[in-house]
Amino acid sequence: MLIANYNFAQMGDVLMVVLHQDSIAQVSEKKDNVVRIYDEKTGETLGYNFFQASKRVSDLNGVSGQVKLTQKQVNDLNDLLNEAGFAPELAVDDKPRFVVGYVEEMVSHPDSDHLHILKVLVNDGEHLQIVCGAPNIAEKQTVVVARVGAMMPSGAIIWPGKLRGKDSFGMVCSARELGLPNAPKKRGILELPAAEYEIGQAFDFKQAAGLFSAK
């Protein structure tokens, strides 16, 4: 997993790269213009901060928010890691994190009066268990799923979690959570027209931008 974020206006010339979820035992070390964040107990790298990033990483000018790093950009970052004395461990991650899913099963959460436990098909034969509290969630819906590792438009990252003791591996998204223009203000997941979307395909934000007309 590799999640990158660059926002010069708010953070300065710093490219932040996340590889794993935060740890209560996380610490950091700085060498040259690179900060490595890692788990002190396991030694696992959780992420890096690259300072003065635009001087060495190609095509960052004008970027704001999540960056889908190219192979060239990852090579640039690995060069910086190597020069600083860190292991050049980064690899391109082109797996789609926002995908079209299908709610195959839904049962009530045993410890909640509004949560439901879903079995969601997200690819050929691949299902995710997701706990959802949307009032309009139902079986046989075509939906948008933020998989583990997705960065929401708000900047939040989706990690595995538990809701009232039940595992949840992703999130079924609303139009507002996806940042779609003119999204309804009322709570509820975005139900896609099934005939226009294929289960497992990457969700196209540009295609979906016209789902809601301005009033």
- Tens-place pLDDT, residues 41-58: 999 999 999 999 999 998
How many domains are contained in the chain? 2
What residues make up the domain containing 47? 3-84
23 — pLDDT class (breaks 50, 70, 90): confident
> Are 66 and 125 within one domain?
no
pLDDT for position 139:
94
> Are 55 and 143 within one domain?
no
Q: Indicate whether 109 belongs to any domain.
A: yes
184 — pLDDT class (breaks 50, 70, 90): confident
What predicted TM-score, i.e. pTM, was given to this entire model?
A: 0.85
> Over the chain, what is the mean pLDDT?
91
**Exposed, middle or buried, 148 (CB in 10 Å: 0-12/13-18/19+)?**
middle
Domain CATH for 23: 3.30.1940.10
Q: pLDDT digit string (tens) for 113-131? A: 889 999 999 988 899 999 9
> Are 148 and 79 within one domain?
no
pLDDT for position 12:
92
Q: What's the CA gap between 161 and 179, in Å, rounded?
A: 23
Q: Is pLDDT larger for residue 123 or for residue 143?
A: 143
214 — pLDDT class (breaks 50, 70, 90): low
> Are 142 and 198 within one domain?
yes
> Are 186 and 134 within one domain?
yes
180 — pLDDT class (breaks 50, 70, 90): confident
Domain CATH for 202: 2.40.50.140
Q: Indicate whether 134 belongs to any domain.
A: yes
Q: Indicate whether 92 belongs to any domain.
A: no
202 — pLDDT class (breaks 50, 70, 90): very high
Q: Which of 55, 13, 50, 12 has the alpha carbon at shortest distance from 31?
A: 50
Q: Indicate whether 89 belongs to any domain.
A: no
| Cβ neighbours around 158 below 10 Å, total | 20
Q: What's the CA gap between 75 and 69, in Å, rounded?
A: 10
> Are 106 and 189 within one domain?
yes
> Are 204 and 181 within one domain?
yes
